[in-house]
């Protein structure tokens, strides 16, 4: 039995934090111990506590916060931590230093979720035993910076395919939203950050609505770009057609409402919400950036469009809304791909193999 400490300094709630939660749940299901170290009042603290996962909350004021370092050091010793798996920059510094100072020396794994420039930080080069990336695209960013190939391994995120199963899906949200069964619904689920491409989603919606005014567009999530996105919608005068639903816990219900899922990111490590849509057999349109083309194979498991191309995005939406046969073929293949490659069971299988390799 292993005892694994997942650490996260982000207060937000998105795919990165959800991966820590899912891995911890699966580790516990298999008879291991998992503890989550996070910021007080964070989304991860809330959802981990609700899931019954042990949580250790400490303020992480800076990358060298001595109080947080000492908290981690004591936690490692008290709980007999075997592996510390870090996820963001600040907690990687704090947890790595705390691990180094602890009499009991755990293995340290740094998971990299983001597809942005890699700095040659000690939290990558010296402090961790291994680096895990969520896609091969992100792994190649490390190799381009000169890190040895055997130190960096790709382990894609996995999802709960029992929860995201169209045959067991909850009732759709159409009645709640006042949308009839015949009205096409296009959904985007993502943290409201600039790199997720909500600007392109809203402007593509405007183009689609010129040809098909009955379509409804749903934006699910919360984040720092909320006011800007609302402003885009207001300026384009499509408030009655583009609805912002905020952060939702009932994502299977949201996806059971959707005829189409769109993720127009300008940067993307991999995309867990995209996996969830694919698992729910919702046709997917994604931008061809980062790790998304590894997940969404163009014209096989979805459609890819160039990032930032509003016209191409609008055309792809119109194509899949009008061509039901093609949409069905893509979504069937997408569900099979998820079951074959992107389950939480497969993610944890690979992760446990990595932990065993480091510890032995």
pLDDT in tens, 137-153: 999 999 999 999 999 99
Q: Which tokens go with 266?
A: 């300008």
Q: Are 101 and 71 in contact (CB under 8 A)?
A: no
Distances (CA, A) of 159 to 274, 278, 280, 341, 348: 10, 11, 11, 10, 11
Q: Are 86 and 128 in contact (CB under 8 A)?
A: yes
pLDDT in tens, 164-177: 999 987 678 999 99
pLDDT surpasses 90 at 274: yes
pLDDT in tens, 78-106: 999 999 999 999 999 999 999 999 998 99
pLDDT surpasses 80 at 256: yes
Q: Where are the beta strands (DSSP E) in the chain?
A: 3-8, 33-38, 55-57, 83-86, 107-112, 130-133, 152-154, 185-189, 216-220, 242-246, 260-263, 284-287, 303-305
pLDDT surpasses 70 at 181: yes
Mean pLDDT of the region 53-57: 98
CA dihedral 170, 173, 179, 184 (to 10 degrees): -60
CA dihedral 202, 203, 207, 208 (to 10 degrees): -20
Q: What pLDDT does 123 receive?
A: 87
Please give the Cα distance from 156 to 106 (Å, whole number): 23
Please give the Cα distance from 152 to 74 (Å, whole number): 29
Mean pLDDT of the region 238-262: 95
CB atoms within 10 A of CB 85: 27
Please give the Cα distance from 28 to 275 (Å, whole number): 23
pLDDT surpasses 80 at 120: no
Return the SS3 of 6.
Answer: strand
User: Which of 122-131, 253-262, 297-306 is least confident?
Assistant: 122-131
| Short-list 280, 226, 288, CA closest to 253 | 280
Mean pLDDT of the region 21-29: 97
Please give the Cα distance from 295 to 54 (Å, whole number): 32
Whose structure tokens read 């755990």? 106
pTM for the model stands at 0.91
Domains and CATH numbers, the chain: 3-158+343-359 (3.40.50.2000), 166-341 (3.40.50.2000)
pLDDT surpasses 90 at 116: no
Q: What pLDDT does 170 receive?
A: 67
Q: With helix as H, strand as E and coil as C, how does 27-65 read?
A: HHHCCCEEEEEECCCCHHHHHHHHCCCCEEECCCCCCCC
Q: What pLDDT does 15 receive?
A: 87
Q: Are 11 and 43 in contact (CB under 8 A)?
A: yes
Distances (CA, A) of 333 to 13, 255, 271, 283: 29, 17, 18, 10
């Amino acid at each position: 039995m292993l005892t694994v400490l997942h650490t996260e300094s982000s207060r937000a709630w998105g795919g990165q934090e959800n991966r820590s939660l899912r891995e911890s749940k699966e580790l516990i299901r298999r008879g291991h111990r998992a503890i989550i170290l996070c910021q007080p009042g964070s989304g991860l603290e809330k959802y981990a506590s609700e899931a019954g996962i042990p949580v250790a909350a400490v303020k992480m004021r800076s990358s060298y916060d001595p109080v947080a370092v000492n908290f981690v050091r004591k936690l490692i010793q008290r709980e007999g931590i075997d592996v510390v798996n870090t996820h963001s920059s600040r907690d990687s510094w704090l947890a790595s230093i705390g691990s180094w100072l602890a009499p009991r020396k755990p293995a340290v794994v740094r998971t990299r979720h983001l597809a942005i420039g890699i700095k040659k930080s000690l939290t990558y080069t010296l402090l961790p035993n291994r680096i895990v990336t969520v896609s091969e695209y992100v792994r190649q960013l490390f190799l381009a910076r000169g890190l040895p190939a055997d130190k960096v391994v790709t382990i894609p995120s996995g999802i709960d395919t029992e929860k995201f199963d169209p045959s067991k899906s909850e009732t759709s949200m159409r009645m709640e939203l006042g949308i009839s069964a015949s009205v096409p619904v296009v959904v985007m689920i993502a943290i409201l950050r600039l790199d997720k491409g909500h600007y392109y989603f809203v402007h593509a919606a405007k183009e689609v609505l010129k040809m098909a005014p009955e379509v409804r567009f749903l934006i699910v999530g919360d984040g720092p770009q909320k006011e800007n996105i609302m402003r885009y919608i207001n300026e384009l005068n499509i408030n009655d057609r583009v609805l912002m639903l905020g952060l939702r816990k009932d994502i299977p219900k949201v996806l059971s409402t959707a005829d189409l899922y769109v993720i127009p990111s300008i940067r993307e490590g991999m995309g867990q919400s995209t996996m969830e849509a694919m698992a729910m057999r919702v046709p997917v349109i994604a931008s061809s950036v980062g790790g998304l083309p590894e997940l969404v194979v163009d014209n096989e498991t979805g459609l890819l469009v160039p990032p930032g191309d509003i016209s191409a995005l609008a055309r792809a939406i119109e194509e899949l809304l009008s061509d039901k046969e093609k949409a069905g073929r893509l979504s069937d293949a997408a569900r099979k791909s998820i079951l074959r490659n992107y389950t939480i069971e497969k993610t944890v299988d690979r992760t446990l193999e990595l932990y065993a390799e480091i510890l032995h």
